[in-house]
Structures are given as C-alpha cells and as structure tokens.
Structure 1
C-alpha cells in the first residue's frame, strides 16, 4: 500500500505532542478494530508508520485512513502492514467543502440514495454520515 498523503492541519485531534502520538493513534485504530493484529505505530515529523498484520486489504485501508485522518499527521507509510490482496477495487476520495455522502454517492454511483454504501465502507473512519469534513479521506468501493 505504501505512502498516503493527508492534510496535516485537519482531522481528529488525538494528541498534544508527537511523543504521545504513536500510543494515541494505535489506541484509536484498535478501539474500532478494523482487523489489524500486532499493530505498531511510530510517528516522526508528522509521518505515521504502521506495521502489523491486517486480516484483509479493507482492514489495512481503514487503518491507514484512521491514522491519516488525525490532526498532526501529513503522511502514512504502511509498507510494514501486511494484508491479503484486495478482493474489491476501491478509490480514495478527499472530502471537499460542501460535500455530503449523498452527493459523493451520486457522483460515483449515479444515485444519491446509495450513500449508505459509502458510509458502510468507511464505518470506522466516519462515525456519523452527516459529520464529514473537508480534507478527510475516505474509501469509495468501485462497482
């Protein structure tokens, strides 16, 4: 999966100093348990590095998004996070000002009413379908 870029100055504020960032990000990912075992997180200069074993490509993608959508993180390296090959193709989308999950669903699937599909694919990343923010990155399952 390699490297992902994120907006460093937006997202969930989980830590006050970079020294506490690895523990806070690891706890954040493990709390939702997207399917990653032996998770290790390190953070240096706003770059989070993840390692461990993901039970699926989806679990790996969610862990990366959960780490990257944290305020203070500008990149996520996941070369040390192993996972099986993906069974479903996904695209990544960065939320823009004025977006809603319905509008995104209309853009990708042709029907605004398909927004639950996007919400379910990002349940660990998005807690409430009405609370998304510009700069947040999410997964869009490809039909």
Structure 2
C-alpha cells in the first residue's frame, strides 16, 4: 500500500493546521466507524499520518487509510505498518478521486458500465462515505473489481 497522497485542503475538518492533538483526532475519527482495525496507533507530522495496527482484512486496511487521508490537512498517509492476517484474501481494487459533478451513479457507470451498481461502491466505502448523495471533489474511494 506504501504511501498514499491526498488533497491537503479538502476533506472533513477535524483539527487546525497547528493542532497538537491531530493524531488523536484522526484516530478517534477512524475508530468512530471502525472498518475492522484493532490496536490502532496514529502519528501525525508535516501533513503525513502514519498508521499502525492489526486489520481484519485488506478492505479494512484500505478503509483505514482512506478515512485518515480524507481529513483536511492530511496530504499523505503511510499505512505499511497496518498488518493483515497471513490468510487474508487479496481483493483487486482501484482507487478513484471524486471529481466535480460526480455522483456514485456516474462513477458506477464509468467503472462497471451500469449506474445501478452504485450500491456496490457505497457498500465498499460505507465507513468512508456516510451518505451516497454526499460525496465531494477530492475525496478518495475504493472501487472493487
């Protein structure tokens, strides 16, 4: 998963640019709708959130990274220290950055050729997208194959 880049000035505002509790606020944000991570630790410095912990599966790891990255003032997320069980299945996914004018219907049409499959995208991002009608430009989501 390496290092993910995000738009620094876009996303949910949890803290100011000089907030000393930024790491704790990011951690609380992730655990609010826990995607399947335990023993989560977050460090934050110079716009980079570094995450560690134990993830139930690949999707949990990806959602944890996306939850951290879709926060205002976070421009990079380092998720290499998020571990997976040895027997974890590998799911092929793509990542997509929401563009101005996008809807999940439009994104589903683009990736699946059928707008009705927007629910698959919503379900794959349930912790990241709270309401399928409330997505915003710059938000990153996962698109299962």
TM-score, normalised on structure 1? 0.96
Deviation at 1:19, TM superposition (A): 1.1
* RMSD across aligned positions (CA): 0.9
Deviation at 1:18, TM superposition (A): 3.5
Matches within 5 A, 1:43-122: 43-84=44-85, 85-122=88-125
For residue 59 of structure 2, give the secondary structure of its aligned residue in structure 1. Answer: helix
For residue 134 of structure 2, give the secondary structure of its aligned residue in structure 1. Answer: coil
1:5 corresponding residue in structure 2: 5
**Runs of at least 5 residues in structure 2 that lack an aligned partner in the other structure:** none
Dislocated runs of 4+, deviation >2 Å: 84-87
Aligned residues: 142
Contact 1:105 1:114 in 2 (8 A): yes
**Runs of at least 5 residues in structure 1 that lack an aligned partner in the other structure:** none
Deviation at 1:2, TM superposition (A): 1.2
1:22 corresponding residue in structure 2: 23
